[in-house]
Structure 1
Amino acid sequence: MCTMGFARPLGFALIPLAICCIVANILLFFPNGDNAQYAKDERLTKYVWFFMGIGGGGISMLLPIVVFVNLGKCAARCGTDSCVMCGSVMAALVGLAGSTYCFLISAVALMEGPYCFTDLGWSSPFEKSGGRYLFNRSSWSQCIQPAQIVEWNVTLLSTLIGLSTLEFLICLVQMVNGLVNAVCRPCCYKQEYSLNA
């Protein structure tokens, strides 16, 4: 089907996802939502400083959002639909890269577990567990401070993984849509021309 209207709702769908990614990443700096001291003392998992939600799932989505939402207007001004759709494919690729980055860093951070104070001092007690700690809630009590840091990290990192997966799927759908339209539109114009002739 030769249409570009499909991109606009996809762009709007990315907006809340990008905002939630940014918020989730920011919350990782404040264990239990109330203490910035751990961030100041750099007593957080090192992956928080990779800004996967702020940069990957958030800021990198600005280009796809702007392009997808304004695709129809741009096509009306430019008059070359194929070029516009190719531009949307490039924007979708940026979104795919950002969401992939967010997904991968969040997954690695989730597998490694939080950096916390244990009986042996500050460490990452689950670093070598290969993610098995996720299925053994009784082991979470190894982290004494910050309080409930394991639950906090698991919840937020799982949220980032879910949001980045949705962003990836939306950008993938638009990339396929853009490629199909870039190929399909010239065919449609030929068909319209032959019908009008």
Structure 2
Amino acid sequence: MCECELKKNPKRTKLQLLLGHLSLLSDTMRSGKCSRIIAGVLYPLVILSIICNVVLLFPGWDVKYAKEGHLTDEVKYMGGIVGGLLVLISALFIHLTGKQGCCGNRFGMLFSVVIAAVGAAGAVYCFIVALLGLGNGPLCKVHGTWTTPFKNRKDNYLTDYKSWETCTEPKNVVLFNIGLFGTLAAVNCLQVLLCAIQIINGLVGCLCGTGTEKA
């Protein structure tokens, strides 16, 4: 289609064609509506991220380990909470750009690109912390001593189920650690993807409008 238009209108630049396609895309998908959808999906992901981080503070479902300071460094980094709050701030503003008002305009869409980048940075931070938590393994008691037995191991402890028995306390802490950090990693992958989509959506909305009709 582009080649035909260029032949018929040789003076028409590729930039003009690109803007035309972006305008069509904006009319079809409605940048404002897309923003509301993205924000709507981010909200439950943020809640899940924060819940996972809070639960990690209580290995073995017991508060005594947190009181005694027997938590891994990755839990103390609060990736799910810090990253979650940054994504939440982004989601709130992204939601506003999808409504009529002060933010539902081209400038709001442009600013949402910056805000979405901040949210993506928070999600990346949490993702990295989650990977470190998975890689280093939990802090647990081995032969009466608190240590991180799986840290710096050359082999992969994640599939070596028998090695999990070396952790005698807290109960089932290895599975606890893997489940929650694995969930955090997956959730934040989705958050990064959604923030990246909003960056593109924000640029389209800035160039072609939000598609939100005034009442």
Tell me the TM-score range normalised by the shorter chain: 0.7 to 0.9
1:72 deviation in Å? 3.1
Q: What are the superposed Cα offsets for residues 105-144 of structure 1, whole Å, 9 maximum, x if unpaired?
A: 1101110000100016110000011561012111001101
Other-structure match for 2:77: 50
1:184 deviation in Å? 3.4
TM-score by length of 2: 0.80
Other-structure match for 1:115: 139
**1:91 and 2:119 are equivalent in the alignment:** no
Percent identity over paired residues? 34
Other-structure match for 2:59: 31
Q: What are the superposed Cα offsets for residues 57-108 of structure 1, whole Å, 9 maximum, x if unpaired?
A: x2112221111211133xx434883211111111111110010000001101
CA contact (8 A) 1:112 1:130 kept: no
Question: Structure 2: where are the runs of 5+ without partners?
Answer: 1-24
CA contact (8 A) 2:39 2:91 kept: yes
CA contact (8 A) 1:110 1:131 kept: no
1:24 deviation in Å? 0.4
1:181 deviation in Å? 2.4
Equivalent runs, 1:107-146 vs 2, <5 Å: 107-119=131-143, 121-130=145-154, 132-146=156-170
Letter in 2 for 1:149: V
What is the CA–CA distance in structure 2 between the aligned matches of 1:127 and 1:98, rounded to whole Å?
25
CA contact (8 A) 1:86 1:179 kept: yes
Q: What value does the CA root-mean-square deviation take over the aligned residues?
A: 1.9
What is the CA–CA distance in structure 2 between the aligned matches of 1:79 and 1:52, rounded to whole Å?
29
Would you say how many aligned residue pairs link Structure 1 and Structure 2? 183
**1:13 and 2:37 are equivalent in the alignment:** no
SS at 1:117's partner residue?
A: strand
Letter in 2 for 1:60: L
What is the CA–CA distance in structure 1 between the aligned matches of 2:117 and 2:202, rounded to whole Å?
11
What is the CA–CA distance in structure 2 between the aligned matches of 1:131 and 1:68, rounded to whole Å?
43
Equivalent runs, 1:142-153 vs 2, <5 Å: 142-153=166-177
Other-structure match for 1:22: 50
1:103 to 109, 112, 127: 127
CA contact (8 A) 2:53 2:79 kept: yes
1:180 deviation in Å? 2.3
CA contact (8 A) 2:97 2:103 kept: no
What is the CA–CA distance in structure 1 between the aligned matches of 2:90 and 2:107, rounded to whole Å?
16
SS at 2:33's partner residue?
A: coil
TM-score by length of 1: 0.87
What is the CA–CA distance in structure 2 between the aligned matches of 1:170 and 1:79, rounded to whole Å?
19
Distance 1:15 1:43, change over 3 A: same
Other-structure match for 1:71: 97
What is the CA–CA distance in structure 2 between the aligned matches of 1:165 and 1:178, rounded to whole Å?
20
What is the CA–CA distance in structure 2 between the aligned matches of 1:121 and 1:178, rounded to whole Å?
53
